[in-house]
Structure 1
Amino acid sequence: MPLPVQDQAWPPPHIHRELRLYEQWGAWYGGDPDHLARVYGANQVHGIGLDPKGWDRPQPGVTGIMNRVSRWFWGSPTPSGQVRNTKLHIPIAGDICSTSADLLFSEPPTLRVKGKNGQKRLDSLMHEAGIYGSLLEAAEVSSAYGGVFLRVGWDTEMYDHPVLSVFPPDAAVPEFRYGALFAVTFWRILREDEKGQVWRHLERHERGRVYHGLYLGTSNKLGKPIPLTEHPETEIYADKVDETGGFDTYFPRGLLVNYVPNMRPHRLIRGTALGRSDYQGVEHLMDALDEVWTSLMRDIRLGKGRIVVPDLFLENLGRGKGATWDPDKEIYSGLGMLPPPGTAPNAMLTISQFAIRVTEHVESGKALIAQILRGAGYSASSFGEADGSGRQLTATEIHSRDRKSFSTRGRKTGYWTPSLQWLAEALLSVDLGVWGTKVTPERAEVHWPDGVLPDPEALGRTVELFNRAQAISLESKVRLVHAEWDDHQVTAEVKRLRDELGLTVPDPDRLDEVLIPDASGED
């Protein structure tokens, strides 16, 4: 189905609930206090985060709205008479997303295809196109918004290889069929003038086709289509589209777009194929954490020592200019009155020093952080919290300590594996169709690393024991030490070792059948 030709509401009304969730999660991910205040309705009547169960219901009135606002720390207004907003935000939401991405792609998976030429070209594309960096970005966005869209494209004027783009779900209108992405329409605002006119670019992906359209409308209306040449950012597509407004994608088997859910099921929207954010269910705890640390900073501000002095200690600066007090002044002018009997001069000074409840606030913050991370599916140790022993842990102990984090990682790899298989085939298909490379597009096998680097000393002892028992070949040694290497890297390393050690092989095609000289120098 091509792009719309008639004016309609935009974004479409059927995704309003999802967009409200994306705006709420995006505010936590961005970490901007002003954005959080706007989303949760501080200093205003309406807000998105007032009542998660009542977004789509008519608001009962100002009193009811303000009651719901008070449930959120970020929804409470700045107290009257306070000169500035003193709310403090702890960016734990951003830490959750970056840690999730690191657990998945800090050690990237290996994509393998059957053809030798195809494997060599795929490895080249993964490095030249910066695919691994894009996957880290996509994993972080997916953690925050509950999912992410990957799009394979090309630009022959800038690149000599396909490119991978990452799109957050709040910039797309997806269509699912049996839980799989059937079609999707990306949209972005290109320009908005002072008259309220809005230029939007729509990019629709269907099986084997991509459509581009430029629309002139308003803030909530799509408007009517106008020629792509009317805006410089869409002009590049004008000579590529046909009379239907689209062109072929060189990938007839499916879409050049894939949706990767973060985690399923979605706990707020039943039956949807969309994923849920790592923040879902812990927003109120993150809100409480900000309130705790704001309270701590308030104690620090109020705990500053203050001295209250009588008027007679102040030095008048003149009419209308106020008065000052110099705490280092040694001699004051005589008083025109006698102090009360038995009153010492220093008793006329009042020193205020409030207690700072550091321990109470810190312990409360730690408890909230532990609950937030547990609710998001991670272990506190994955965020740098030490176990207190002070000793270096082995890989097995790290797996045991971070069990919850690695369980979450294991679930997420189950959603990423089909998408990475699709990615290899899509990259090779575009590479073949646009640049005519001599490769056969195919889905890749995905091999994930363990996620924890093994102890080098323990690994060395293992290799040495197998070597003494003559139970391991040279190639197997290399694969054991460098589990992340592909076949080409292993073969090259084996050849270098043979050359350095002077090893001989009776059959060049079987590198594992080597004769190692003994101590006497005889074979």
Structure 2
Amino acid sequence: MALPEKNTAWPPIHPAIRSDMDDWSAWFSANPDRLAYRYRNRGTRSYATGQAGQLQNRPSQYRGGLVGTVARWFWGQPTPLGEQRANLHMPLARDIARTSSDLLYSEPPALKAKAKATQKRLEDLMDLGMKRTLIASGETTAALGGSYLRIVWDEDVQPGPWISLVHADGAAPEFAHGDKLRAVTFWTVIACEGQRVVRHLERHEPGIILHGVYDGTEDNLGKPRDLTEFAATKHFLPYRELPIGKRLAVSYLPNTMFAPDWRDIPGGAGLGTSDYQGAETFLSAIDETYTSWMRDIRLAKSRIIVPAQFLSVTGPGMGGVWDDREAFSLLNVPPNSEQGITLNQFAIRHEEHRATVEDLVGKVIRNAGYSGNTFGDDSSGSAVTATEIKARTARSMSTRARKSELAATAIADIVEVLLMLEASAMFPGVTAVDVERPDVVFQDSVQDDIKTLAETANALRQAEAASTEALVELVHPDWDEKDQKAEVDRILKETGRLVEDPLTLGADRPVFDEQDDEEQPADDAESEDASTEE
């Protein structure tokens, strides 16, 4: 295939998928303005290309029935005329995405290879930027349902290729057999002036990368333009064949195995789904509850209701005043009334609001597949072992295990293709290594402190229930097999329990009598003399 034809409707994504991703993107941004814009202009223009401050009320928001109900989300409610918007936002969605990334990549996965040179290259790859890329992909994957890892290169930035991140809402993928990525088209807006939108398209097919620029509108791709007309695309080639066979220079990292809400949409099931899917109404309710809570605080200011005749007269035409201007409220009552000074204090329903927020937050967290303890602080104040932490966060650990299985495949795919490119003639300045598909090993996100591990190892040693190898592996789980074996040898040598090889000790060497040992040098000398005379 090739790039799209001119005047193609854009983006080429099912409206339901696009709408969901726009919702998730707004929640992920943790920006109240973006949330208000999204829900007040839902189904129309996007926040990215819309004009700033276009937060307007729509007639449907005041209607009854289904249309009014859908339009009256908390963040889509119109602001009454003459009032300032006082809506508060709790960035729980951003916190969920960050926590998901921390569970997976706070300790980056280790890439393992058999060849020493390849292993060194994989370690350099992680240290030179891939760790940051994976941390960022962990957040966007949890928020948008997936992310893409692609290979890029730019000699003006650094020699050789590296792996970059593309968000799921900027790509149009094509899947084969449900979840196998066959091709994908990325797009980037490089110019936006009023109704005009200029996009750069990058299409990945097996062994091929295509680039193009289109000048159109927000919902239409428009006509093709030359790549050299724009500074952002002048270095790209329209067509580039890569020495990677039928492989793609991109891999897709889904958040879940499939998307239940899109399983009846062609090509939608393999995208995966966001951690927010199904919890948008609860996220909105949390913000509404916090706004109501702060409204109680705002309205509960102490008030002293004072009759007008109690005010101090400051002079003709100057009116009257009360000494405490911050607290008083004027009440115009007849002078002959019996009403005097009245104190008023509205109640702050803090316990009701707190309980409501905690219940809603728990529902959102469980919907995302995490345990509440993952997001809360331990108030007990006592030391907690890794076993206890894992027990309290069992649901989070299960979700982490599922996500790590999906991530490991995508990471191994893209790293293997990167090694294939480096081993080709495309990058002569890069040292080529043996091409291997690496093993992606995720680290244990919760570990006991060294004192607890040492006490456990000592108990196992005294009970004669573990070998030295097992104890070293227990205390140093982050070491590789070679380092663990070297440590075992050092321990055995220091404790005098290292048994040398019998051949090294000379146990199998022939034994000679002392007479033979003494006469052997003379025989050797006579043999040397004889050979010299000959």
- Taking structure 1 as the reference length, the TM-score comes to 0.82
When residues 214 and 287 of structure 1 are mapped into structure 2, their CA distance, relative to the original with a 3 A threshold, is: same
Q: Does the 8 A contact of 1:201 with 1:234 survive in 2?
A: yes
* Inter-partner Cα distance in structure 1 for 2:76 and 2:263: 27
Which residue is 2:364 aligned to? 372
* Inter-partner Cα distance in structure 2 for 1:273 and 1:455: 40
Which residue is 1:183 aligned to? 183
Which residue is 1:443 aligned to? 437
Which residue is 1:353 aligned to? 345
Which residue is 1:426 aligned to? 417
* Inter-partner Cα distance in structure 2 for 1:436 and 1:302: 67
1:79-130: per-residue Cα shift (whole Å, max 9, x none)? Answer: 3442x111111111111111111111112222211212111111111112x2
Of 397, 403, 420, 1:412 maps to 403
When residues 317 and 265 of structure 1 are mapped into structure 2, their CA distance, relative to the original with a 3 A threshold, is: farther
Q: 1:425: how far off?
A: 0.6
Of 290, 306, 309, 2:306 maps to 309
Q: Does the 8 A contact of 1:263 with 1:275 survive in 2?
A: yes
Q: 1:475: how far off?
A: 5.9
Which residue is 1:74 aligned to? 75
* Inter-partner Cα distance in structure 2 for 1:439 and 1:186: 30
Which residue is 1:289 aligned to? 286
Q: 1:348: how far off?
A: 2.2
Of 394, 419, 423, 2:385 maps to 394
Which residue is 2:250 aligned to? 257
Structure 1, unaligned stretches of length 5 or more? 49-58, 330-337, 511-523
Q: 1:166: how far off?
A: 1.2
Q: Does the 8 A contact of 1:466 with 1:472 survive in 2?
A: yes
When residues 94 and 357 of structure 1 are mapped into structure 2, their CA distance, relative to the original with a 3 A threshold, is: same
When residues 470 and 396 of structure 1 are mapped into structure 2, their CA distance, relative to the original with a 3 A threshold, is: closer
Q: 1:497: how far off?
A: 7.3
1:253-311: per-residue Cα shift (whole Å, max 9, x none)? Answer: 41111111101331211152110111111111111111111111011011111122233
* Inter-partner Cα distance in structure 2 for 1:373 and 1:203: 36
When residues 75 and 448 of structure 1 are mapped into structure 2, their CA distance, relative to the original with a 3 A threshold, is: same
Q: Could you say what secondary structure the match of 2:8 adopts? A: coil
Q: Could you say what secondary structure the match of 2:282 adopts? A: helix
1:477-523: per-residue Cα shift (whole Å, max 9, x none)? Answer: 5433222233565577678879999997847xx9xxxxxxxxxxxxx
When residues 73 and 426 of structure 1 are mapped into structure 2, their CA distance, relative to the original with a 3 A threshold, is: same
Which residue is 2:275 aligned to? 278
* Inter-partner Cα distance in structure 2 for 1:159 and 1:17: 40
Q: Does 1:15 align with 2:8?
A: no
Q: Report the residue type matching 1:411 in the other structure.
A: R
Instruction: Please say which structure displays the higher CA radius of gyration.
Output: 2
When residues 306 and 411 of structure 1 are mapped into structure 2, their CA distance, relative to the original with a 3 A threshold, is: same
When residues 122 and 295 of structure 1 are mapped into structure 2, their CA distance, relative to the original with a 3 A threshold, is: same
* Inter-partner Cα distance in structure 1 for 2:144 and 2:316: 61
* Inter-partner Cα distance in structure 2 for 1:45 and 1:77: 17
* Inter-partner Cα distance in structure 2 for 1:227 and 1:503: 74
Aligned residues: 474
* Inter-partner Cα distance in structure 1 for 2:200 and 2:315: 66
Of 295, 298, 302, 1:298 maps to 295
Q: Could you say what secondary structure the match of 1:160 adopts? A: strand
When residues 469 and 303 of structure 1 are mapped into structure 2, their CA distance, relative to the original with a 3 A threshold, is: closer
Q: Does the 8 A contact of 1:263 with 1:412 survive in 2?
A: yes
Structure 2, unaligned stretches of length 5 or more? 47-59, 327-333, 505-534
Q: Does the 8 A contact of 1:315 with 1:324 survive in 2?
A: yes
Q: Does the 8 A contact of 1:185 with 1:203 survive in 2?
A: yes
Q: Report the residue type matching 1:275 in the other structure.
A: G
Q: Could you say what secondary structure the match of 2:352 adopts? A: helix
Q: Report the residue type matching 2:300 in the other structure.
A: G
Q: Report the residue type matching 2:302 in the other structure.
A: G
When residues 259 and 137 of structure 1 are mapped into structure 2, their CA distance, relative to the original with a 3 A threshold, is: same
- Once the two structures are superposed, the pairs formed by residues 53-64 of structure 1 within 5 Å of their partners are 63-64=64-65
- Once the two structures are superposed, the pairs formed by residues 4-403 of structure 1 within 5 Å of their partners are 4-12=4-12, 14-41=13-40, 63-64=64-65, 67-69=68-70, 72-82=73-83, 84-128=84-128, 130-178=129-177, 179-194=179-194, 196-237=195-236, 241=237, 245-271=238-264, 272-314=269-311, 324-327=321-324, 340=336, 348-386=340-378, 389-403=380-394
Q: Report the residue type matching 1:216 in the other structure.
A: D
When residues 202 and 462 of structure 1 are mapped into structure 2, their CA distance, relative to the original with a 3 A threshold, is: same
* Inter-partner Cα distance in structure 1 for 2:196 and 2:45: 25
* Inter-partner Cα distance in structure 2 for 1:165 and 1:47: 28
Q: Report the residue type matching 2:24 in the other structure.
A: W
Q: Does the 8 A contact of 2:104 with 2:445 survive in 1?
A: yes
When residues 328 and 108 of structure 1 are mapped into structure 2, their CA distance, relative to the original with a 3 A threshold, is: closer
* Inter-partner Cα distance in structure 1 for 2:486 and 2:227: 51
Q: Report the residue type matching 1:67 in the other structure.
A: G
Query: What is the RMSD of the two structures over their aligned residues, measured on CA atoms?
Result: 3.2
* Inter-partner Cα distance in structure 1 for 2:317 and 2:182: 75
When residues 60 and 373 of structure 1 are mapped into structure 2, their CA distance, relative to the original with a 3 A threshold, is: closer
When residues 317 and 278 of structure 1 are mapped into structure 2, their CA distance, relative to the original with a 3 A threshold, is: farther
When residues 293 and 273 of structure 1 are mapped into structure 2, their CA distance, relative to the original with a 3 A threshold, is: same
Higher alpha-carbon deviation: 268-277 or 293-302: 268-277
Q: Could you say what secondary structure the match of 1:149 adopts? A: strand
When residues 253 and 475 of structure 1 are mapped into structure 2, their CA distance, relative to the original with a 3 A threshold, is: farther
* Inter-partner Cα distance in structure 1 for 2:43 and 2:148: 34
Higher alpha-carbon deviation: 442-451 or 140-149: 442-451
* Inter-partner Cα distance in structure 1 for 2:314 and 2:203: 72
Q: Report the residue type matching 2:446 in the other structure.
A: V
When residues 4 and 46 of structure 1 are mapped into structure 2, their CA distance, relative to the original with a 3 A threshold, is: closer
* Inter-partner Cα distance in structure 2 for 1:267 and 1:319: 76
Q: 1:436: how far off?
A: 4.4
1:326-384: per-residue Cα shift (whole Å, max 9, x none)? Answer: 2289xxxxxxxx9649x5xxx52232210111111111111111111111111110002
* Inter-partner Cα distance in structure 1 for 2:451 and 2:283: 41
* Inter-partner Cα distance in structure 2 for 1:201 and 1:502: 68
Q: Report the residue type matching 2:360 in the other structure.
A: L
